[in-house]
Structure 1
Amino acid sequence: MRRPIIAAGLLAAAAVLGACSSEGPQPAPTSPPAEHGSYAHCLSEHGVPAAPGPMVGPPSGVDEQTWQDATEACSTLAPGPS
């Protein structure tokens, strides 16, 4: 009589563990996904790497034309007054 109870308990435990372990840990994203509408992500897609803090001009290593093209392409995502 004990064997069916133990077997049922083991099956239930296996079902719970199987449901909980269907996905492993997910790595942290290195940049925001495009669907979030991030200004920084848009700039990086147009050749301007993310710089720490607010950007007032092109970051080091980015030429003026690339900066202008990127800011124009991403202008709808730029922060500013509402």
Structure 2
Amino acid sequence: MMSSGYWDHELAVGVDRVAQMGALTLSVDDGYVSKGSMDRGIGEYMLLGHVREFMPGSEIPIELVRRAVKEFLSGGGRIPTCIEWQAEGF
């Protein structure tokens, strides 16, 4: 946590329960997004009532999403290593 009281990083998670896919973004110094093995185009997910777009190629199986979130939380906010990451950008 920074002296301002805000966290210096943020993990956002999008999940499509029907397709059993999801995507993660991690804001640290730069933005990172999960790297998927298939490209279903831009993934749109609701985040706090607003549509959040995840870049193409960022969707991964929901089981990997779960694993990455658990690793992030149990690791004190360290970047999960159980998935691949790529620089965020369209």
Q: Quickly name the TM-score band, shorter chain normalised.
A: under 0.3
Whose Rg is larger?
1
More strand by share: 2
How high is the TM-score relative to the length of structure 2? 0.25
- The structure with higher relative contact order (CA 8 Å, sep 6+) is 2
